[in-house]
A and B are shown apart, each in its own frame.
Chain A
Amino acid sequence: MPRMTTAEAVIESLIAHGIDTLFALPGVHNDHLFDAAHKASDRIRVIHPRHEQTAAYMALGAALVTGKPQAFAVVPGPGILNASAALLLASAMGAPVIALAGQIPSFAIDQGHGHLHEIHDQIGLLRHIVKLGERIRSPEEASARVATAISVALSGRTGPVALECAIDTWGQSAEVTLTAPFVQTAPCADPATIAAAADILANAKRPLIVVGGGALDAGPELQAVAELLHAPVSSFRRGRGAIPTSHPLAVSFTEGHALWKTADAVLAVGTRLYWQQSNWGVDDALKIVRLDIDPDEISRYRRPACGLLGDAAVTLRALAVELRGKGTAWQPNPDLPAVRAAFADRLTRQEPPMAFLRAIRAALPMDGIYVEEVTQVGFASRLALPVHAPRTYLSPGYQDTLGWGYGTALGAQAAAPGRKVVLVSGDGGFMFQATELATAMHHKLPVVAVVFDDGAFGNVRRIQAQAYGNRLIASDLTNPDFVKFAESFGMAAFRATTPDALEDALRKAFALNAPALVHVPVGEMPSPWDMILLPRVRGTETRPPLP
């Protein structure tokens, strides 16, 4: 048994789990951890940003692009609290992010003496947000704690976990047994339930598939089921890319709404099915089959006709076998061409956002990664940006956390070094992490940030104007000169006022293979919400029954 410190055991265990990058901000509580990382720097690199929030967002971006666990480390108290919004987002998105937080001296924890960075019940606080939160109390247990935490992060509905370690524990050494990674299983749903689901779907005339972030790793299986049934596949934010947008059965969120009206069966894979059940309406003529890995999710909103509890890919594969066994020749949905035409017509009102998106897509390679901030062009992209592969479209999902984008894009770039990464941001969201341009330059992360600048929290401003008697408050913004701002970091910067100029700037920026910023001054954008906040189309119940 090798002799090592707690910090060394943690680093070795992270490496054993395939983690090759630690996104981290140093500080006195974690000095030993950083030194252990330094000693292992041939196998793990440290990327340090300028604010703890970005360490966490970078780990999130890396996890979203790879689907694999990613780790960040920060000091306790203010440090981990600065990362907490990103952890909440990771939780909502089911991202396996491993948070390592320091702690004050072990003998003083929760005594209230006022140690540097002390907060009350740090791990208890974190447990509100993460799947598992534990304290590493000795070098002997460190490796097992890491293996357990990562196993929890990866099992079932994936999600973030947190480990804390006291300043004096990191440096303690002992003879240590390293715990090997636990084997993760991909459970298949119960065969009888799969058969029941197949019956429902096989007997449907207009089946519809709705996918969320839980379907991203089940693309081929999903496509097989969809093609068997001729069922359109609707995705919104997190599910985009589960099957390529170019597939004849891939439809947008808005088209999904039109198809929902006449659907007689729905297969929902890895999605809360929130908008559909909450806003679009349900009735007895619509049979809902839900497939989810999270037992809490299936009946959270209402009891489905059939609930499949299992891994999406494995279960869909079994479902396809069951469906093929029926020998039925299903017919294409006759409504689909008209639905597509109607949506294309509605999209013509989304200018200039659509023109900007066409420019971005034209410049972004097929395998390029697109990160959307919470902004008007970002909203439009949720509906209409062509997406060619899973994990190339990063959206903050239901949390819609303003300011998540730039750090997430940097993390995505760190995890996918050979690929192009573009961020689409507003001026409001961009400033949340704007000083991380320094990080892009320091670590040579060639993200191209596109900042659509309307000098406002534009969505807020529009709602204040329209719904609150034009009483504008706290929504107008005074911005820096973004080109000069980027140049102050030594970064290449462009200004584009038209879609053509944007495409040109993006091509030049990508060719530089260096971090860049493109400033796009814009006026007020058309509201996309008429295509997102869609009316009830079926059912009479005003509030769905609880299970």
Chain B
Amino acid sequence: MLPEAGWGTHPELQQKPLAEPHERTIGDKAMPRMTGGEAIVDALLRHGIDTVFGLPGVQTYGLFDAFARASNSLRLINARHEQGTAYMALGYACATGRPAVFAVVPGPGVLNTMAALATAWGVNAPVLCLTGQVPGPMIGRGRGQLHELPDQLATLRSVLKWADRIEHPNQAPLLVARAFQEMQSGRPGPVSLEMPLDQFTAVAEVTPQDPLKLFPAPPVDGEKIAALAKLLDQAKAPMIWVGGGAQHASAEILALAERIGAPVVSFRGGRGIVDDRHPLGLTVASGYRLWPETDLLIGFGTRLDVPLGRWGAPPPGLKIARIDIDPAEMRRLHVDPGIVADAADAARALTALVAPNGSTRTASIANAKAGAAVAISKVQPQMSFLAAIREAMPEDGIFCDEMTQVGYASWFGFPFHQPRTLVTSGFSGTLGAGFPTALGVKVAHPDRAVVAVTGDGGFLFGGAELATAVQHGINLVTVLFNNSAYGNVMRDQKRMFDGRDSGSKLHNPDFSIYAKSFGVAFWRATDADGLRKAVTEALAARAPALIEVITDIGEEYPPWEFIAPGRG
């Protein structure tokens, strides 16, 4: 957001607003003349983008005018803070697996989105950040241009997979296509393009560019997969771990698991790949019960952080194998065999090689699931609340977490039935991401039930975006668990420091008045039954909704023994 338009008097630096609308040139075969902004928007449309999240300002006026000219094929959803635009794009990408785009001003605008971009990097989300720059001739001079960020491109590259600058309108088609290629190829991730202010409105002949082919996934190494198949044939109790890198490989993973009768365990990123109701679909809580007998661990698209980092000493003689599309993962955790490949390709190849071994472990896996279900039921009241939300949500409903007690418990305590129905900030653990990210999820899936859980601490990071929900009719149901504290912090502090707490008690608004001030429907629930009723009513209302549940951190059973049992 920028108020002023003074950037020198040199003719080249004068922004030339377009008084007369251009003919729409989208899809023309001939070399059209168009502005830099139009060239970018044309390229976005060619990549199937129909929604952009954005906050306008002086440096991006030319880009936003191109959005306005394309408004019959592209909708623009604004927010009340740049973080909101980026989190919504993140939610859109996580819930669909498809690229999502947001646009903000440079400098403070793009810095306001950095936490969301870092989160996108953490959860491998294909998010494209479009931003501006100071006028081209001023880049790097340090003259104190409006929203100038020294070496913005390098700053962005620190947290992104790829970033570049579009110096001229005729570079836009190819660089946008490159951005889509980079964010989707291999391990997906966030990317950014910046353009100097003057180039958004500069006019040039532009060569349209069709989407580029993604970089091919590495072929599944035949020798290594055969070696892994052999290990599997020899193993008595293999365990499959899945992470976010296997979200697209649900059918292939399940086929493999059923062929060898192995449990499929997931923590956050891999939830829903195998339905929790399936006899082989396990959580971190039920999987841990099988850990002592496990003799082969195979990871698909996962860092294996939980079994190897949080489950204590591995069982004696454990063999470990992993499949990951990202070669860097193989040096971070070197195992043999470590196979650089797409999860679906590798699972398919492995299934074809291994001997069927259907039924020998059925009972022990079922026991683990049943035992875990009993054990985790002591995580109260969180488990009751989660059950209430699950019962109120249809099969394909999407659950969005936050750094809050019910969110933590959901990682093992909420049954997921389909891929991409848990949207999480993953290892980034980004406080405040939950609610605005869930808004983007609902934008992507307006006809599915979307429920966000949040705490009072996390909610107020982006709580002003209730205005965005109302403005754009984003009918998200948000369940706010209010303990008037950064509760987890306070519990840690009191445990570690002789009962002392510092900076963790919070003064909250009266959330019923708060919601009403935005015209948002509000419910207050005091128990699981009330919550079930409220979520059911809120989903039926088809309007933005806030449900408050008052909780007490002191009365909550900590979830950590199921998340990191090996750490005591």
Which chain A residues have a beta carbon within 8 Å of chain B's beta carbons?
Answer: 24-28, 31, 34-35, 37-39, 41, 46, 48, 50-51, 53, 77-79, 81-82, 84-85, 88-89, 92, 111-121, 124-125, 128-129, 272, 274-275, 278-279, 281, 296, 300-301, 374, 379, 398-404, 428-429, 431-432, 434-435, 437-439, 441-442, 457, 459-460, 463-464, 467-469, 471-475, 477-482, 484-485, 487-490, 529, 532-533, 536, 542-543
Contact B54 A474 (CB under 8 A): yes
Q: Which of B71, B328, B464, B516 contacts A473 (CB 8 A)?
A: B71
Query: A112 CA to B328 CA in the complex, in Å?
Result: 9
| Inter-chain contacts of B519 with A (CB < 8 A) | 480-481
Which 8 residue pairs spanning A and B have beta carbons closest together?
A467-B17, A402-B1, A442-B507, A478-B471, A488-B513, A78-B115, A48-B503, A484-B517
Q: Which of A50, A81, A532 contacts B460 (CB 8 A)?
A: A50
Contact A124 B4 (CB under 8 A): no
Which single residue of chain B is at the shortest CB-CB distance from A376?
B3
Contact A400 B328 (CB under 8 A): no
CB distance from B66 to the nearest CB of A (A): 10
Contact B107 A399 (CB under 8 A): yes
Contact B305 A113 (CB under 8 A): yes
CB distance from B188 to the nearest CB of A (A): 15
Q: Which of B501-560 contact A (CB under 8 A)?
A: 501-514, 516-519
Tell me, yes or no, whether B431 is within 8 Å of chain A by CB: yes
Query: A115 CA to B428 CA in the complex, in Å?
Result: 7
Query: A481 CA to B305 CA in the complex, in Å?
Result: 46
Query: A77 CA to B467 CA in the complex, in Å?
Result: 27
Contact B19 A272 (CB under 8 A): no
Q: Which of B449-465 contact A (CB under 8 A)?
A: 457, 460-461, 463-464
Q: Which of B3, B112, B500 contacts A35 (CB 8 A)?
A: B500
Contact A26 B504 (CB under 8 A): yes
Contacts A85-B111, A459-B3 given; 20 further ones with Cβ under 8 A?
Answer: A27-B431, A48-B503, A82-B114, A92-B148, A113-B333, A114-B303, A117-B430, A118-B427, A300-B141, A399-B108, A401-B147, A402-B2, A435-B460, A438-B460, A442-B506, A468-B68, A473-B65, A474-B56, A480-B519, A488-B516
| Inter-chain contacts of B355 with A (CB < 8 A) | none
Contact B430 A432 (CB under 8 A): no
CB distance from A243 to the nearest CB of B (A): 23
CB distance from B558 to the nearest CB of A (A): 14
Contacts A128-B151, A490-B510; A402 near B460 (Cβ below 8 A): no
Contact A471 B497 (CB under 8 A): no
Contacts A114-B303, A460-B56; A300 near B142 (Cβ below 8 A): yes
Query: A475 CA to B67 CA in the complex, in Å?
Result: 13
| Inter-chain contacts of B486 with A (CB < 8 A) | 25-27
CB distance from B491 to the nearest CB of A (A): 11
| Inter-chain contacts of A463 with B (CB < 8 A) | 5, 58, 61
CB distance from B341 to the nearest CB of A (A): 19
Which single residue of chain B is at the shortest CB-CB distance from A46?
B503
Pull 16 A–B residue pairs with CB atoms less than 8 Å apart, ordered by A. A25-B503, A26-B486, A48-B504, A50-B457, A111-B332, A117-B429, A399-B108, A399-B146, A432-B80, A442-B507, A468-B65, A471-B68, A479-B467, A481-B516, A484-B517, A543-B8
Tell me, yes or no, whether B55 is within 8 Å of chain A by CB: yes
| Inter-chain contacts of A435 with B (CB < 8 A) | 460-461, 463-464, 509
Contacts A402-B1, A467-B17; A125 near B493 (Cβ below 8 A): no
Contact A441 B507 (CB under 8 A): yes
Contact B108 A478 (CB under 8 A): no
Which single residue of chain A is at the shortest CB-CB distance from B69?
A471
| Inter-chain contacts of A467 with B (CB < 8 A) | 17, 19, 61
Tell me, yes or no, whether B298 is within 8 Å of chain A by CB: no
CB distance from B232 to the nearest CB of A (A): 27
Query: A529 CA to B2 CA in the complex, in Å?
Result: 13
CB distance from B310 to the nearest CB of A (A): 12
Query: A508 CA to B407 CA in the complex, in Å?
Result: 44
Which single residue of chain A is at the shortest CB-CB distance from B149?
A88
Tell me, yes or no, whether B154 is within 8 Å of chain A by CB: yes
CB distance from B129 to the nearest CB of A (A): 13
Contact B503 A488 (CB under 8 A): no
Tell me, yes or no, whether B143 is within 8 Å of chain A by CB: yes
Which single residue of chain B is at the shortest CB-CB distance from A543?
B10
CB distance from B256 to the nearest CB of A (A): 25
Which single residue of chain B is at the shortest CB-CB distance from A78?
B115
| Inter-chain contacts of B423 with A (CB < 8 A) | none
Tell me, yes or no, whether B361 is within 8 Å of chain A by CB: no
| Inter-chain contacts of A118 with B (CB < 8 A) | 122, 427-428
Contact A279 B6 (CB under 8 A): yes
Contacts A50-B457, A472-B68, A532-B6; A457 near B56 (Cβ below 8 A): yes
Q: Which of A28, A85, A488, A543 contacts B509 (CB 8 A)?
A: A488
CB distance from A430 to the nearest CB of B (A): 9
Give per-residue flags for B4-28: 1 if the beta carbon is below 8 A from chain A beta carbons, else 0: 1111111100000111110000000
| Inter-chain contacts of A432 with B (CB < 8 A) | 80-81, 464
Q: Which of A34, A51, A53 contacts B493 (CB 8 A)?
A: A34
Q: Which of B323-343 contact A (CB under 8 A)?
A: 328, 332-333
CB distance from B557 to the nearest CB of A (A): 19
| Inter-chain contacts of A441 with B (CB < 8 A) | 507
Give per-residue flags for B409-436: 1 if the beta carbon is below 8 A from chain A beta carbons, else 0: 0000000000000000011111111000
Query: A114 CA to B305 CA in the complex, in Å?
Result: 9
Contact B155 A129 (CB under 8 A): yes
Which single residue of chain B is at the shortest CB-CB distance from A463?
B61
Query: A115 CA to B470 CA in the complex, in Å?
Result: 36
Contacts A428-B1, A457-B56, A469-B19; A77 near B118 (Cβ below 8 A): yes
Q: Which of B97-152 contact A (CB under 8 A)?
A: 107-109, 111-112, 114-115, 118-119, 121-122, 141-151
Tell me, yes or no, whether B351 is within 8 Å of chain A by CB: no
Which single residue of chain B is at the shortest CB-CB distance from A428?
B1
Query: A27 CA to B416 CA in the complex, in Å?
Result: 29
Contact A77 B4 (CB under 8 A): no
Contact B489 A28 (CB under 8 A): yes
Q: Which of B20, B61, B78, B514 contacts A464 (CB 8 A)?
A: B61
Contact A533 B6 (CB under 8 A): yes
Tell me, yes or no, whether B374 is within 8 Å of chain A by CB: no
Q: Which of B3, B121, B510, B517 has the most CB of A within 10 A?
A: B3
Contact B471 A477 (CB under 8 A): yes
Which single residue of chain B is at the shortest CB-CB distance from A48?
B503
CB distance from A275 to the nearest CB of B (A): 7
Q: Which of B1, B333, B510 contacts A460 (CB 8 A)?
A: B1
Contact A275 B503 (CB under 8 A): no
CB distance from B397 to the nearest CB of A (A): 26
| Inter-chain contacts of A482 with B (CB < 8 A) | 517
Tell me, yes or no, whether B76 is within 8 Å of chain A by CB: yes
Q: Which of B114, B497, B518 contacts A38 (CB 8 A)?
A: B497
Contacts A26-B503, A464-B65; A399 near B147 (Cβ below 8 A): yes
Tell me, yes or no, whether B221 is within 8 Å of chain A by CB: no
Tell me, yes or no, whether B444 is within 8 Å of chain A by CB: no
Contact A488 B6 (CB under 8 A): no
Contact A117 B151 (CB under 8 A): no
Q: Which of B18, B432, B502 contacts A37 (CB 8 A)?
A: B502
Contacts A379-B3, A542-B9, A543-B8; A88 near B111 (Cβ below 8 A): yes
| Inter-chain contacts of B496 with A (CB < 8 A) | 31, 35
| Inter-chain contacts of A438 with B (CB < 8 A) | 460, 506-509
Which single residue of chain A is at the shortest CB-CB distance from B118?
A119
| Inter-chain contacts of B502 with A (CB < 8 A) | 26, 34-35, 37-38, 41, 46
CB distance from B74 to the nearest CB of A (A): 10
| Inter-chain contacts of A399 with B (CB < 8 A) | 107-108, 146-148
Which single residue of chain B is at the shortest CB-CB distance from A401?
B108
CB distance from A36 to the nearest CB of B (A): 9
Q: Which of A26, A300, A400 contacts B147 (CB 8 A)?
A: A400
Tell me, yes or no, whether B466 is within 8 Å of chain A by CB: yes
| Inter-chain contacts of A31 with B (CB < 8 A) | 489, 492-493, 496-497
Contacts A51-B461, A438-B460; A529 near B5 (Cβ below 8 A): yes
